[in-house]
Amino acid sequence: MSSKLSNVGPLELKVLGVLNVEANMSVSSIQAVLKKQGHNLAYTTVMTVLVRLFDKNLVVRKKEGRQFLYSTAQKNSSPLKVFERMKTSLFGNEKLRPILGLLEFDDGLSREELEELKLVVEARLNRGQKK
């Protein structure tokens, strides 16, 4: 299954993220959530993504009437777990490298976002001092 997790695309991650929040969703309800997030995708596109995730054993489905309802297959199929496995396979034990890489190549971060990042780092530093 780990090889399947490392082969998850960006749109599949978005769909997993939607299903991680709410279970037993139809294709049209997932499509509606994605549209609210700014992704105007065709019904058939969302359905294709769900079929691929089902084939990778990352989602389960149950038939209700004429439609399928989808849920994540397991706790370890959440987007954060997928990201963790991808990060480990790409960077090994180098924890700082992916963070610095994101900062280096993303000039789109606003001052407010950078300040928020600074607060998170400072909170982590302070938490480390309490031990």
Domain boundaries along the sequence of the chain:
2-77, 95-131
Structure confidence by residue, pLDDT tens digits, 14-38: 898 888 888 899 999 999 999 998 9
Structure confidence by residue, pLDDT tens digits, 39-77: 999 999 999 999 999 998 889 999 999 999 999 887 555
The pLDDT, as a whole number, for residue 112 is: 87
Least Cα distance to 14 among 92, 36, 64 occurs for 36
SS3 72: strand
**What is the DSSP secondary-structure string of 14-44?**
HHHHHHHHSSSB-HHHHHHHHHHTT----HH
Q: Distance between CA 99 and CA 83 in Å, rounded? A: 13
The whole model's pTM is what?
Answer: 0.59
Q: Name the band, by pLDDT with cuts 50, 70 and 90, for residue 6.
A: low
pLDDT at 2 over 50: no
Q: What is the architecture of the domain spanning 2-77?
A: Orthogonal Bundle (1.10)
Contact present, 70 and 12 (Cβ < 8 Å)? no
